[in-house]
Amino acid sequence: MRSRLLSVTAGSSPLENILQLSSAVVIIFEHSYFIYNKRRHLRDRQESGPSFYAALEQYTASPHAVAVREGVSAAVQAYEEAMKTAPAWMAKLRFKRSQEKQAKAQLIKTILEITLNHRLSRP
């Protein structure tokens, strides 16, 4: 499964891979719940496969997968650029720490927005 979700990101940084996989998993698990819940209420016995695999297939075939991958990649690149702006000798200064906190907060906010904006529609 991991290779299916990260197949396009072979040259990506570990941070980018983790954030892309995390975003995809959140989207897939949420959609999996809706599929499971729908099947349970409809007592649908014809579709007996696990709802997770159905959600995974729908996610990988959707344009959301590409949008999440590109959005996370751009967010991580912006974060990494923000972390490079101050010289190394400033690493222990309060300014550098404040800048790092702001960059991390912006990265988290951006990843959350990407994940929420690219959820799959309810079945």
Tokens of 52: 């997770």
Is the pLDDT at 32 greater than 90? The verdict is yes
pLDDT of residue 41: 76
**Mean per-residue pLDDT, 19-47:** 85
Identify which has the larger pLDDT, 65 or 44. Answer: 65
Residue 123 lies in a domain: no
Residue-averaged pLDDT of the chain: 83
More reliable by pLDDT, 5 or 66: 66
- The mean pLDDT of 58-78, rounded to a whole number, is 95
In a domain, 78, yes or no: yes
Identify whether 122 is part of a domain: no
- Contacts of residue 111, defined as CB under 8 A and 6 or more positions apart, other chains included, come to 19, 22, 23, 72, 75
Angle at alpha carbon of residue 106, lines to 103 and 108, rounded to 5°: 110
pLDDT tens-digit map of 6-24: 554 556 899 999 999 999 9
Which conformational region is residue 58 in: left (phi greater than 0), alpha (psi within -120 to 50 degrees), or beta? alpha
Structural domain includes residue 103: yes
On whether residue 97 sits in a domain, the answer given is yes
| Residue 13 CB burial class (10 angstroms; 0-12, 13-18, ≥19) | middle
Q: Where are the beta strands (DSSP E) in 1-123?
A: none
Decide if 71 contacts 109 (C-beta within 8 A).
Answer: no
In a domain, 7, yes or no: yes
- 83-119: pLDDT as tens digits: 876 565 555 566 667 778 889 999 999 999 999 999 9
pTM for the full predicted model: 0.79
Residue 45 has pLDDT above 70, yes or no: no
Range of the domain at 77: 2-117
